[in-house]
Structure 1
Amino acid sequence: MKLQFLTPLYAHPGPIASAYLDTSRDRDDPDRAVESRWRKLRRSLLAHDAEQATVEAIADAVGTDREVAGPHGQAVFAAHGKLVLAETLPEPPARDTALYGMLPDTLSLALQHAPDIPYTVVILHRVHVPERTAGRPAGHGGPDEELEIDSESGRWPTSRVAPGARSHRRIPVDGWPEAVERLVGELVTEMDAAGTEMVVVAGDPWAVNSLMRAAPSRLHGAFVKLKDGQHRRREPGRALLEEELAILLDGRLSERDRHQVDTFLAQRARHPEYVEGCAAGVAALQRGQAQTLILSRPVRLHRHLWVGAAPVHLALTGEELSAFGLHYYWEEPAPGAALIRAAAGTQAELICVPDEELPIEDGVAVVLRYTGS
């Protein structure tokens, strides 16, 4: 997963305030619950010497995701009295947190973006149009029916609460043979541009099957046909077929991530000391040699790291940074924030893998851009 979405957070020097809180709407009086949660975080930020203007910038953003139904959360960042970034989270945070420090607390936000799988949903439903049957003999078929076509693309799992543009159209059933060619052309263009890995189709069996047959053979493996074609109402601000997508995509890696994990396994077999463990990860990021940072889920980072002003100013001890000639550095209490900043700042990607699927020392590993042998 690429980390460019974090770029705004590193565009200005700290200190920066980071807040994560549950802003779910599936409860009685959700606005009051969100306000109560925010008051506790506000007190924490002010107690840690956050600027009043910076705290107010976060306050103005908290709860602005109220149009999103169901359980979710919010991550909000502000610095020097201005809002830097506010994102709706697909899952409420495990606990509300607020930090004020030199680095933004980006680990939880990055984890909620992973695995960042691009997909498209297409729902096809046959609907009757009574007004078109006026004056026709009883039992007349075909022209009194239309196909309702809903499509939506996104990147899982953030699309659960930030779905992409949705297309909605209706066409006569007898015009479907021509329309399906246009729809396939649109899908191919979108898939090639976005790197779409999965097209989930549901609804009328005849229309679904003809859509899949019309697609070029190179895309056949990307289609997933759902047996349940019932048309359910989408909750406001939520993705189409969210429940079905969760079954298909939760715990899955993107194709690129799977290839990179294979590369890591090959590198570990040859030189484990260079690619596995916190020390190896820090050394690779420090040199800008990491193509990808791999973290275990659940993340377990127990040691503090030392950092300086630049992303590559990362070390296990302050003495190491001093030996590099740095005069300004500090012990960073949030090691995840230090690792994510180093990865984003050196254009490394991020992969999160369940610990039971890929046990790694310290829960940290890297894929190297190049090796010495």
Structure 2
Amino acid sequence: MDLAFLHPLYEHPGPWASVYVDTSRHTQSAPHERSLTARALSRELAGQGADEPTCHAVRTAVEELAHSPEPHGRALFARAGEVVLDPPLATPPPGGSSARWAPLPHTAPLLELATEDPVSVVAYIDRKGAEFELRGALGSREASAAAGKHWPSPRRSTADWSVRHFQLRVENTWEHNAAEIADALAVCQEETCADLVVLVGEERERRAVRARLPRRLLDRVAEAPHGAGSRLLDEDIERIRAEHVHRRAAEELERFLAARVPDEEGRTGAVEGVPAVVEAAREHRIDELLIHLGAPETNREVWIGEDPDQVAVSRTDVKALGGRATWPVRADDALLRSVVETGAEAVSVTAISQAEGPRGGVGALLRWA
């Protein structure tokens, strides 16, 4: 996951209010319930020591969601009486709405709740061309369309040569159309940077287009078994998107497991456990952070200073790094701050068996051994 959108959170000192709001209930009583939630979250922050202006800003922001059509939820990060960032969530927060007041913004849940939202180009293919739709967890919009040659109408004849002639004409025209659609689809994917390409249509048409797509797209392509008129199509697309997220996490975990095996000179391309990963973060060596949310070491206490480089497992070590002010924080939040500031990425491997993941639930692929 690219975490660049979190940069504004690390341009200002804390403490921070981190609020996750569940807006997945859409009933007549939802506005009233969200108003109650706004007051409850504000009280919870105040009980944790948050200042009144920040509590007020959070309460106002949550109340403004009372009539929001948000399908899943929203995260709110606030300080000094201002909501600095409010990304939408791709899935409702487990356990409902929550609030936390801490020296760093509690961004770790976003790896599960906001990040894994692969953008998909859905191609609705027929024999005349195709329409493309750009779809994410928060909705969809029309992307573009590809028009093929006009499809010939069959003659009403029982003669063998007539039937065969029609089939050949159909085949020849469809060969052209499939190539046109594949070219347009490849351009659409490149322009939108879509993670997935989903083909919808008759099986023969899907396969013809797929066979003509560039090789670079082959591992991004999936076919929906149900057509455009089926009520099951949305379920197909969501399943395909979820499988993509799981597959990517599995691939990154596989890379990690291979990289932690020492080479002939005893060097490894990965580290695991909070102390080793914190050291790598301090040296700007993390290429990708792997976190198993809820694992034993993700909420382990580490110490930070004002700068992202000032992170260590003990307060004394942070002082030695030049930190004048120091704070105890969660390990996952401290590591995510370092990842954002150094342009690295992060991925949740929570959906994969913990026994296969990094020790303690925290690991990193390194930029150099």
TM-score (normalizing by structure 2): 0.78
Following the alignment from structure 2 to structure 1, what is the Cα–Cα distance between the partners of residues 8 and 142? Answer: 27
Any conservation in 2 of the 1:198–1:222 contact (CA below 8 Å)?
yes
Q: State the AA in 2 paired with 1:167.
A: A
Following the alignment from structure 2 to structure 1, what is the Cα–Cα distance between the partners of residues 270 and 207? Answer: 50
Matches of residues 140-289 of structure 1 in structure 2 within 5 Å? 150-154=131-135, 159-161=136-138, 163=139, 165-167=141-143, 174=150, 183-205=181-203, 207-216=205-214, 219-231=217-229, 241-250=233-242, 252-253=244-245, 260-270=252-262, 275-289=271-285
The match for 1:322 is 319
Deviations along 1:311-356, one digit per CA (max 9) or x if unpaired, are 1211111011122232211112x33221211211122211211234
Structure 1 residue 40, shift from structure 2 partner? 0.8
Structure 1 residue 117, shift from structure 2 partner? 3.6
Structure 1 unaligned regions, length at least 5: 127-145, 235-240
- Residue of structure 2 aligned with 1:313, choices 305, 310, 313: 310
Structure 2 unaligned regions, length at least 5: 152-172
Q: State the AA in 1 paired with 2:325.
A: Y
Following the alignment from structure 2 to structure 1, what is the Cα–Cα distance between the partners of residues 3 and 360? Answer: 22
- The root-mean-square deviation of aligned C-alpha atoms, in Å, is 3.3
The match for 1:348 is 344
| C-alpha spacing 1:193/1:32, structure 2 compared with 1 (3 Å) | same
| C-alpha spacing 1:325/1:11, structure 2 compared with 1 (3 Å) | closer
The match for 1:74 is 74
Partner of 1:275, secondary structure, is strand
Q: How many residues of Structure 1 are paired with residues of Structure 2 in the alignment?
A: 338
The match for 2:91 is 91
Partner of 2:357, secondary structure, is coil
Deviations along 1:160-216, one digit per CA (max 9) or x if unpaired, are 12x454237697983696776554333212323455443111134565455435534
| C-alpha spacing 1:65/1:34, structure 2 compared with 1 (3 Å) | closer
Any conservation in 2 of the 1:274–1:280 contact (CA below 8 Å)?
no
Partner of 2:56, secondary structure, is helix
Structure 1 residue 32, shift from structure 2 partner? 1.5
Following the alignment from structure 1 to structure 2, what is the Cα–Cα distance between the partners of residues 25 and 232? Answer: 25
Any conservation in 1 of the 2:23–2:70 contact (CA below 8 Å)?
no
Q: State the AA in 2 paired with 1:166.
A: E
The match for 1:112 is 113
* Percent identity between the two aligned chains: 26
Q: State the AA in 1 paired with 2:331.
A: P
Q: State the AA in 2 paired with 1:326.
A: G
| C-alpha spacing 1:229/1:242, structure 2 compared with 1 (3 Å) | closer
Q: State the AA in 2 paired with 1:36.
A: L
Any conservation in 1 of the 2:38–2:60 contact (CA below 8 Å)?
no
Structure 1 residue 107, shift from structure 2 partner? 0.9
Following the alignment from structure 2 to structure 1, what is the Cα–Cα distance between the partners of residues 256 and 294? Answer: 19
Structure 1 residue 304, shift from structure 2 partner? 0.9
Following the alignment from structure 1 to structure 2, what is the Cα–Cα distance between the partners of residues 230 and 273? Answer: 46
Following the alignment from structure 2 to structure 1, what is the Cα–Cα distance between the partners of residues 59 and 324? Answer: 36
Structure 1 residue 87, shift from structure 2 partner? 2.0
